[in-house]
Amino acid sequence: MPEGDSVWRTARTLDAVAGRRVLRGDLRVPRHATADLAGATVLGTGTHGKHLLTRFDDGRTLHTHLRMDGSWSVLGPGKRLPGRLLPDLRVLLAVDDGRTACGLRLPVVELLRTADEAEVVGHLGPDPLREDWDEDEAVRRLTARPERPVKAALLDQRLMAGIGNLWADETCFLRGTSPWTPVGEVDVRGAVRLAARMLRASIADPRAHQVTTGDPRPGRDHWVVGRAHEPCRRCGTPVRVVAEVPGDAERRRTWWCPHCQPGPGPDALQARSAARSVRGLGC
C-alpha cells in the first residue's frame, strides 16, 4: 500500500487539473454511476494520510483511496487511455484544457459534500504532511496503549496518519528499537519527530523519495527494508524478516537487525496472545 508521501505525490500529479472546469466526469462505481460533475471546477486535491480529497467549487469532494492497486494519472491533450486499461477505469475527469485525470483500480470512490469530509477522514490521526500537523496529539494517541508494540502503533492510521510499513521499519531501526518493543518503553516523541522528518524529506526532493540512508542509488536507499539476509549497514549482522500474518493488523511483514535493535522478537506477540487467552480462561 502506498505510504503517505507517495499519496501526497499523487495529489501533486492531480494538481495538473486544478483550476480547470470539468467537461466530462465519470464515476464508474455503482454508488455514483449517475453523478454528474460536468461544469464544476476542480479546486485542488488535498491528502490526509493515505486518503485523497479532490475538491470542486460546487461544494463537493471526491474521496479516493489507492490501497494496494489503485493509481491516478493525468493524460495530456489528445492522449487517450490504452484500451486494455479501460476495464480498470473508475474515475475519469476530462477538463477544459484537454487534459484527462484517470483513476484506475481505485477500491474507494466516494462523492460527498466537502462539509462532510470528516465522515471519511475524521478518524485519522495527525499527518506530518499537513499544515495542521500536531506532534503533541500524535504522541498522546500513540502512548494511550503503552503495552502495544511500537511498530503496530506507528502503523495505526488513527494515531498518526501517513506512516506505512517502510517508514515504520526504518524508524524503528534508526531509533535502535525492536519493532515489538512496547510503546511504554520507547521514546515515542523521538520516534514521531524522526518519522515526520523523513516523510517531509521524501516529498522535498524527487531524488530523495523514500530514501532513508541518504544514498539514492538502487539497493542502497534503505537500512533494513527489502534487505533480508543481507549484512546490516552498521554492524554486519544479517538483516532478518518475518512474514505478514494475513488478517492480523499487528503482524505485518517486518525487517529488522537483531543486533542494532535489541528487544523482543516477533514471538513476543504470540506469547502475549497466549497469555491473554489463559487469563481469559481463568487459569
Catalytic annotation, pick one of 240, 251, 252, 266:
251
As a whole number of angstroms, the distance between CA 91 and CA 99 comes to 14
Reduced to 3 states (helix: H, G, I; strand: E, B; else coil), residue 280 is helix
> What CA–CA distance (Å, rounded) separates 216 from 211?
6
Helices (H), ranges, 93-187? 118-121, 135-142, 150-155, 165-174
Catalytic site residue from 2, 216, 258, 264: 2
**Catalytically annotated residue among 50, 90, 141, 148:** 50
E strand segments, the chain: 22-27, 42-48, 51-56, 60-65, 71-75, 89-95, 100-104, 108-113, 240-242, 254-256
Q: What angle do CA 162, 164, 170 make, to 5 degrees?
A: 115
Active site residue 3: yes
Residue 50 annotated to the active site: yes
**In the annotation, is 30 catalytic?**
no
Q: With 0-12 CB in 10 A as exposed, 13-18 as middle and 19+ as buried, what is 191?
A: buried
Please, are residues 40 and 22 in contact by the beta-carbon 8 Å criterion? yes
Task: For residue 2, indicate whether it is catalytic.
Answer: yes
* Active-site residue, from 3, 126, 141, 179: 3
Residues annotated as part of the active site: 2-3, 50, 251
